[in-house]
Structure 1
Amino acid sequence: MHCPAEWLVQMKDGQPLEELLQTDGPLRGFESQRLRSYFTSHGLVPVRDLDLYGMAVFSGNRIDVKTDFENRLARFRASARSEEEARKAAAHEIYELSWGPTRVPVYDLIFLAILVTPEQRQGLLDVARYLIAEAKVPVDGADLSGAQAIYHCVSTKPVFDPELAQILYDAGGDVNARNRYGGTSAHEIVLVYDLHNRETMQRSADALKWFLDHGGNLDIKDNDGATARSCIVSMREKMRTARRSLRLPMWDVLDREDQRRARLAESICSFCGRDDAKLLKCSQCMKARYCTPPRTCQKSDWPKHKTPCKAASRTQAQPATQATYLGVPLF
């Protein structure tokens, strides 16, 4: 698809962003910064970017959103082999919709609408609930940066919206979902710039606690090798070196969660820290425990776990075997 000229951003090297706008692959280093810069100057403008359906969603008009879905459903029923097939097709059609230069999907559009028109909040949340419960539209749609709506709700930039985040989480949203830069929402949460603003610091701590309480992992590396944990450790070290007495609330959140996970290591998932699903032991080291499918905790933890796993296997003098998860090779 050819991108309109106004979507292109010229960087110092004179190269346009067209190739980044046409793909959805992972980015790192300078390429990440190019797309981030594009996002800061190319936001969604409702009167320019939204069609009739987009405006219905953006205004929290549940009646029009419901009518639209019923019309889509009727159209697909004409050719579908079953009611279930027609419903899936109608839901997928909405799932594939996006608006504006940053390709905002439907649940992200609801989040943006809450920011712009907070007085419409309850109507917008009702639209989200309808799309989830009745229309069955999946919540993992991503924008041009690869970020899902739950990412934006938790990242604190620009706000932290735990209510919408919980709605998305209950519908299957993954707090550890990564964007095109390889980062989770925690990578954004821990970047606290205004250290003397108590409200900002507390909001970041609250968001971090929500992230961890819902299975968030701080040791996931982004595409440049940085983890959310390493950012916290680095900031702590800088303050210690500068002999500054300021202590961020998020540090206490992290310390308490680390202590909890260490104390309950035998009964919680080694990756997400949750205990609400059946756990299986790693077939190679027989120590780490992970949630069963459809969660992908073992696969997600493998980049970190593989070194201690192999060491533990050698210590136990077990035959060298390929690590698997329910029979699926991890490497």
Structure 2
Amino acid sequence: MIELINVTKIFPGAPSPSVDNVSFRVNQGNICVLLGPSGCGKTTILRMMNRLEEPSSGKILINSENTLKSDPSALRRSIGYVIQQTGLLPHRTVARNIALVPGLLGWPQEKINNRVDELLKLMGLDSGDIADKYPHQLSGGQMQRVGVARAMAADPPIMLMDEPFGAVDPIIRIRLQDEFLKLQQQVRKTICFVTHDINEAIKMADYLIIFNQGRLVQMGSPVEVLTSPADDFVLSLIGDDRGVKILDLTRAETLMEPADNISDDLLGSGCTVQSYQPVKLALEVMMKKNQDRVGVCRGNHLAGTLSWSDIKRHINKVSGEESEL
């Protein structure tokens, strides 16, 4: 868990704080997306979490411990960090880039080799084909995957991701987002994810925090923000097509009704979607199967259900009138 308490950052000579009295919490296993225009303080917050920058005032707690009392180097080794340009070391091979932190932690070489192979497989990359290549020999999508693999190498419980998919073309970006959400179902890291792209924010977030000029202006789930924007700034940021965003970008799990006792008949019928897949796909499955609900799965297990009426209710909140669904 990560918690910021009244955190302010003022850079010398700046006319106003980069981060202005910000407080929020990131719960274990969640993806918390920090959203806002360039220069609103998002990256500064990330850099304060691993002490690349120090707060001017306030506290940052990780698992209830004040980060200012931690050794900065040890803290950074315990947190995965992914940036837009990947930050891969150009003179190191892919395998040696991924092995960087485990090597600093003194892992035996056999364990490091096994971890590198495991992570490349997890990222959908062929170890035999790519492990000995250098960063300049990779495509943009491959570099981003290797950057994520390196951040995960020592299996850190927390990952900080600063515009991690921003440097690749839109088609590859969507694919990387989808694959990362699928991966997160398995690894359940606590993630702070920075973006200025509203579509990416809605798609990736379990919890969304919106900033403007260093100040926190709204917090909530993507659906809460879409259905109840806090002010005109948030409304302009999320756009006029809020109903479309709920269908196209919101994950099925964000609208589902969790249930402990769900009939396995839904699994057998094929009337299911994965939790990270969009609400729009759930609607398509309902129509194809002529059903009024789908099961929402995490892997092979049912986690909840999503009904036609659930979707319609949220669309109605956005439109303020009866939906045509």
Q: Same fold (TM over 0.5)?
A: no
TM-score using structure 2 length = 0.35
Higher helix share: 1
Larger relative CO (CA 8 A, sep 6+): 1 or 2?
A: 2
TM-score using structure 1 length = 0.35
Greater gyration radius: 1
Higher strand share: 2
